[in-house]
A and B are shown apart, each in its own frame.
Chain A
Amino acid sequence: MDKFRMIFQFFQSNQESFMNGICGIMALASTQMYSAFDFNCPCLPHYNLAYGLGILLVPPFILFLLGFVLNNNISMLAEEWRRPQGQRGKDPAVLRYMFCSMAQRAMIAPAVWVSVTLLDGKCITCAFCTSVPVDTLGNASHPRLSQGEIQRVLARIPCKEIYNGQQLIANEVAVRYLRCISQALGWCFVLLMTTLAFLVRSLRPCFSQAAFLKSRYWSHYIDIERKLFDETCAEHARSFAKVCIQQFFEGMSTDLVAARCYLPRKASADAGEAAEKLLGITDQGTMNMALKTWHRCKPPLHLHPPALPTGNGWAGEGQPPTHPSTPRRETAAYYSWV
């Protein structure tokens, strides 16, 4: 019990650190994913916007969902939400607390992706290169081109190797302009997120500290109760299995004794423990029969009372012998009641 207690204390006190660790790892993973990703702007008028905005917005959504999936507590939240009320009331404040804390952690990796993307600048350059103000930034003496042509030329800005509009607008000027806008957006986004996080964290003690302490306690309680229940069930299953198997072997050995009509020699007191562990099966044939029976015909999940009749009759506890236990084999065993 002491060992369990230490383990549970570790989990409890470190569950928050554990969750924060996963959160940090996902943020690092998203940075790594971005640098490993080979960004390839299509440099075509209508595809640029779709590609650029897609790369900016779709991976964060995936990372957000992944943040929920990797969080163990999501199943706990779902269970608590769907359970029938029964004898225990449901507290929506606890559910809200659990959901909020999971959502906050899941938001970090997507925010990191969006920030890194904006600060790098490639996505915005690709998406908005056709909207560059040619009049202000372009060369004064540019040839007159139709709107469509201008769009096609501007769309090639991100692809320096195929850009053919130096007379229209210098490539470096346009790229620097777009990158500046992108980085400004990026820093503003990071500032906004940080300010939101700061407000959420610092306004809470001012308004709802008591309710917060309550929700936090009960959400931890639900988690611990679930873990302890699983542990108790595992212990129970272990004991159940042990007794079931023990009774199986005893039953086998008793049946064989009854079938062969001889009493097993009582092991002498010195053989002691080892002989007891043999559970009455002492030769190859019997063991083979036991193994075959275990495979072909497992005993029912029903532990019957342990007192078996011996040659001397009942163990004398005054129990009425009117209902024998469910017979497990089809062959009837003959018991003599003296």
Chain B
Amino acid sequence: MDRFRMIFQYFQSNSESVMNGICGLLALASVKMYSSFDFSCPCLPQYNMAYGLGIMFVPPVILFLCGLILNRQSLVMLEEWRRPQGRRKKDLAVIRYMCSSIMQRAMVAPVVWIIVTLLDGKCLICAFSGSMDPEKFVGFANVSTAQVQQLLAKVPCKDDELLRNSTSRKAVSRYLRCWSQALGWSILLILILAAFLARWLRPCFNQATLLQARHWSNYIDIEQKIFEETCCEHSRLFAHKCILHFFESMRQEIKLHSFSLPREREGAEGEEDLLRGITDQNQVNKLLKMWYCEKPPLDVSQAHQR
């Protein structure tokens, strides 16, 4: 009992820490994914924008879904939301609290990806190089309209033979990168301010409701864990009883069919007890065959009455 109590206290206090840990790991994974991903802009007029914006927005969606999948609490919340009312009322405030905490944690990795992308700059350069105004840059001002689109599209590719040492290419690249980094830092600043304000101002509104919601969401989580543990314990005991009854019924069957079984001695040795009356190769073979061909019914109360 003591051991169970320790385990459950661990679960109680660390359920939040486990989730925060997963959240942090996903954020690190997103940074690692970005750095190991080989960004390769197609440098073609129609494809650049699709590629650049795709790389900026599709992985965050994937990371968000991963954040929801890996979080155990999202399942708990869904089950609580969909359960029939029965004899226990449903409290929408608890479900809302759980939902918001899950969403907040799932949003961390996508936001990290977007910020890292913007601070690095490659995506924006790839996506918006074709939308630049050629008049602003000396090298592109005197080129025909058809050609200028092609050239601008090639700006992200440093090794392209046409623009290898072009200063205009470097100018466009720097310009776009500057915008990209400014956007990245601004978004980061806004998000941190928002998080700071939310955390600071929360105690001013509805603190009591918040405490209640948090308590009951913890409760639902723990209740489910304990239920699973109890089911495991129960199925173990059930299996143990079932097997014992099986051996017992085999022994009785043998007693019925063979007359030469000796009566048990008083104070039999411990080993004889463990043999449970099965003392012969044929008997063992028969037992194993019965176990395969005719498993005992899942009813351990019957055997008591036999």
Interface string of B259-285 (1 = CB under 8 A from A): 010110100000110111011110010
Interface assignment of A236: CB less than 8 Å from any CB of chain B: yes
Give the residues in chain A near B181, CB-CB below 8 Å: none
Are A13 and B54 touching (Cβ within 8 A)?
no
Are B235 and A220 touching (Cβ within 8 A)?
yes
Residues facing B in A130-188 (CB within 8 A) are 137, 170, 172-173, 176-177, 179-180, 183-184, 187-188
Instruction: Check A172/B160 contact, CB under 8 A, given A177-B44, A205-B75.
Output: yes
Q: Which residue of chain B lies nearest to A166 when distances are taken between CB atoms in the complex? A: B161
Give the residues in chain B near A172, CB-CB below 8 Å: 157, 159-160
Are B78 and A206 touching (Cβ within 8 A)?
yes
Interface assignment of A301: CB less than 8 Å from any CB of chain B: yes
CB distance from A123 to the nearest CB of B (A): 14
Are B43 and A306 touching (Cβ within 8 A)?
no
Are B281 and A302 touching (Cβ within 8 A)?
yes
Interface assignment of A12: CB less than 8 Å from any CB of chain B: yes
**A191 to B232 CA separation, bound complex (whole angstroms):** 36
Across the interface, A236 reaches (CB within 8 A) one of B41, B51, B242, B274, namely: B274
Interface assignment of A282: CB less than 8 Å from any CB of chain B: no
Interface assignment of B184: CB less than 8 Å from any CB of chain A: no
Q: Which residue of chain A lies nearest to B47 when distances are taken between CB atoms in the complex? A: A180
**A239 to B269 CA separation, bound complex (whole angstroms):** 11
Interface assignment of B240: CB less than 8 Å from any CB of chain A: yes
Interface assignment of B82: CB less than 8 Å from any CB of chain A: yes
CB distance from B157 to the nearest CB of A (A): 7
Give the residues in chain B near A197, CB-CB below 8 Å: 65, 69
User: Among B89-97, B129-137, B295-303, which stretch is in contact with chain A?
Assistant: B295-303
Interface assignment of A224: CB less than 8 Å from any CB of chain B: yes
Across the interface, A303 reaches (CB within 8 A) one of B65, B66, B279, namely: B279
Q: Count of A-B contacts with CB under 8 A?
A: 163
**A80 to B82 CA separation, bound complex (whole angstroms):** 32
Instruction: Check A229/B279 contact, CB under 8 A, given A194-B66, A305-B262.
Output: no
Interface size grouping (class) on chain B = 35 or more
Across the interface, A120 reaches (CB within 8 A) one of B38, B55, B280, namely: B38
Instruction: Check A205/B231 contact, CB under 8 A, given A172-B160, A232-B247.
Output: no
Q: Which residue of chain B lies nearest to A300 when distances are taken between CB atoms in the complex? A: B281
CB distance from B81 to the nearest CB of A (A): 8
Across the interface, A209 reaches (CB within 8 A) one of B43, B83, B235, B288, namely: B83
Are A229 and B235 touching (Cβ within 8 A)?
no
Interface assignment of A61: CB less than 8 Å from any CB of chain B: no
Interface assignment of A221: CB less than 8 Å from any CB of chain B: yes
Interface assignment of A260: CB less than 8 Å from any CB of chain B: no
CB distance from B275 to the nearest CB of A (A): 5
Interface assignment of B139: CB less than 8 Å from any CB of chain A: no
Interface assignment of B61: CB less than 8 Å from any CB of chain A: yes
Are A228 and B263 touching (Cβ within 8 A)?
no
Interface size grouping (class) on chain A = 35 or more
Are A191 and B62 touching (Cβ within 8 A)?
yes
Interface string of A233-262 (1 = CB under 8 A from B): 101101110110000000000000000000
Across the interface, B236 reaches (CB within 8 A) one of A224, A235, A240, namely: A224
Across the interface, B292 reaches (CB within 8 A) one of A5, A12, A83, namely: A83
Are B235 and A303 touching (Cβ within 8 A)?
no
Interface assignment of A265: CB less than 8 Å from any CB of chain B: no
Give the residues in chain A near B8, CB-CB below 8 Å: none
Residues facing A in B62-79 (CB within 8 A) are 62, 65-66, 68-69, 74-75, 78-79
Are A180 and B280 touching (Cβ within 8 A)?
no
**A187 to B57 CA separation, bound complex (whole angstroms):** 11
**A220 to B82 CA separation, bound complex (whole angstroms):** 25
Give the residues in chain A near B297, CB-CB below 8 Å: 87-88
Give the residues in chain B near A119, CB-CB below 8 Å: 37-38
Interface assignment of A121: CB less than 8 Å from any CB of chain B: yes
Are B47 and A205 touching (Cβ within 8 A)?
no
**A225 to B296 CA separation, bound complex (whole angstroms):** 11
Instruction: Check A187/B275 contact, CB under 8 A, given A88-B295, A177-B44.
Output: no
Are A236 and B278 touching (Cβ within 8 A)?
yes
Are B68 and A176 touching (Cβ within 8 A)?
no
Instruction: Check A191/B61 contact, CB under 8 A, given A221-B239, A240-B275, A302-B281.
Output: yes
Interface assignment of A317: CB less than 8 Å from any CB of chain B: yes
**A202 to B99 CA separation, bound complex (whole angstroms):** 13
**A240 to B68 CA separation, bound complex (whole angstroms):** 54
Interface centre among B239, B272, B298 (most CB of A within 10 A): B239
CB distance from B66 to the nearest CB of A (A): 6
Give the residues in chain B near A170, CB-CB below 8 Å: 161
Are B265 and A224 touching (Cβ within 8 A)?
no
CB distance from A304 to the nearest CB of B (A): 8
Give the residues in chain B near A195, CB-CB below 8 Å: 65
**A9 to B247 CA separation, bound complex (whole angstroms):** 24
Are B231 and A176 touching (Cβ within 8 A)?
no
Q: Which residue of chain B lies nearest to A16 when distances are taken between CB atoms in the complex? A: B228
What are 13 A-B residue pairs whose CB atoms fall within 8 Å in the complex?
A88-B298, A176-B43, A177-B44, A179-B40, A188-B58, A202-B78, A205-B79, A217-B235, A224-B239, A233-B288, A239-B271, A303-B275, A307-B265
- The 9 lowest CB-CB distance pairs between A and B, nearest first, are A86-B294, A301-B281, A305-B262, A180-B42, A303-B279, A225-B239, A239-B274, A221-B235, A205-B78
10 extra interface residue pairs, beta carbon distance < 8 Å, beyond A300-B281, A303-B279: A9-B233, A12-B235, A176-B42, A177-B44, A187-B55, A191-B62, A198-B69, A217-B235, A303-B280, A306-B272
B residues apposed to A, CB below 8 Å: 37-38, 40-44, 47, 50-51, 54-55, 58-59, 61-62, 65-66, 68-69, 74-75, 78-79, 81-83, 157, 159-161, 228-229, 231-233, 235-236, 238-240, 242-243, 247, 260, 262-263, 265, 271-272, 274-276, 278-281, 284, 288, 291-298
